[in-house]
Amino acid sequence: MRILILGGDGYLGWPCALHLSAAGHEVGVLDNLARRAWDRELGYESLVPIAALPDRIDAWTRVSGRRMDVFVGDLRDAGFVHASLRAFRPDTVVHFGEQRSAPYSMIDREHAVFTQVNNVVGTLNVVFAIAELDPRIHLIKLGTMGEYGTPNIDIEEGWLTVSHKGRTDRVLYPKRAGSMYHLSKVHDSHNVEFACRTWNLRATDLNQGVVYGHWTEESGCDPVLATRFDYDQVFGTVLNRFAVQAAIGYPLTVYGAGGQTRGVINLIDAVDCIRIAAENPPEAGEFRVFNQFTEQKSVGQIAQSISRVYPGRCRIESVEDPRVEAEHHYYQAAHTRLVDLGLVPNLMDDEFLSSLLSVVERYRHRVRAEVIPPTVSWRPNANVAAPRRVVSTR
């Protein structure tokens, strides 16, 4: 197939592009390079050095003998979106092209507004371009398990059958997002479902759990192909943060009681889920939802795992939770549809954790401990040293 990856320079988009190209698909990469600009805004950098996009593309061509088309521009520019899709003529569009950090969206009013405008408007432009150019294009939209929140009932895969006053209907599972970022994803889901129902488009909404790891078979072929390893308090994930804290002798800082439970998935599996979804498209008019994770882990469990595997001494400390969230809650989410289509999970076992810690040890000299403690709070007027403005490439 011809597959266009929006946000193809990012943490997930880049290894996904490599994986799909290696699987034999013709891949295009579209990005506005804003993720790199946000690092400069906040004063952060990936623990593992990452190459410039042109160097990445050249390295992949050298390693694999396969080329990728590149489109540099902003999804908020409807003309650019339309022209890029018309030029590449994709069978499938994979949409990673959004601001994906909950803390970034909660820095202040400006960052909240930017996140929602950037994400919702960009997605709408993609949906309209598909409807106008070729409704047969399969849109794979990256959502998040954070759309659901932590309800006191089981989470189904996108849809819920409801009986009320003697009548029954199938409705989208109720959403209770936990940040301005997650709310933007809820709006995306509703907009895309409307487009399928009304314009007969076809879409897969992948409600993805927390992704961990930085290595895939393809990205490991050459150092220039490496993807990001974020450990800071805005873009870093909890496992990365704990691994870095262990390596520098810093306490593993668990937010609150540590009972916050989420779905998690290895990067290797995350990119393979995209391949599986692309190679098994939905019917015209179908809006299908896959919950894309392989395990459920609490923050406390992840900290205990790192403490157990790390060869040195680890201390676990509880710190005030900067988020407004339940620290103990029921969490049981269905996640069978991708497994039914062939996903073979790679789990967060001791072997993986040891390999992750070895990567951190290799680049320990690049760690900046001051970017780890949280300064972004979900509570109004509580943020410390918030950046003055949002960095945009427009």
Contacts of 65 (CB under 8 A, 6+ apart): none
Q: How many CA atoms lie within 13 A of 2 on its CB side?
A: 12
Residue 309 in tokens = 């595997």
Of the residues 181, 212, 255, 310, which is catalytic? 181
C-alpha pair distances (Å), 110 with each of 178, 233, 390: 18, 19, 7
Joined tokens for residue 219? 């990205």
> Rounded to whole angstroms, how far apart are CA atoms 96 and 86?
19
The CA-to-CA distance between both ends of the chain, in Å, stands at: 31
Q: Partners of 252 in the beta sheet?
A: 316
Per the annotation, the verdict on 185 as an active-site residue is: yes
Identify whether 297 is a catalytic site residue. Answer: no
Residues 96 and 6 sit within 8 Å (Cβ to Cβ):
yes
> Is 144 labeled as catalytic in the residue annotation?
yes
Of the listed 141, 175, 185, 297, which one is catalytic?
185
Catalytic residue of the set 92, 115, 123, 144: 144
Give the residues across from 288 on adjacent strands: 204
Helix or strand (DSSP H, E) at 61: helix 53-64
Closest listed residue to residue 68, CA positions, set 123, 119, 13:
13
Nearest Cα neighbor of 236 from 245, 226, 225 is 245
Q: What residues are labeled active site?
A: 144, 181, 185
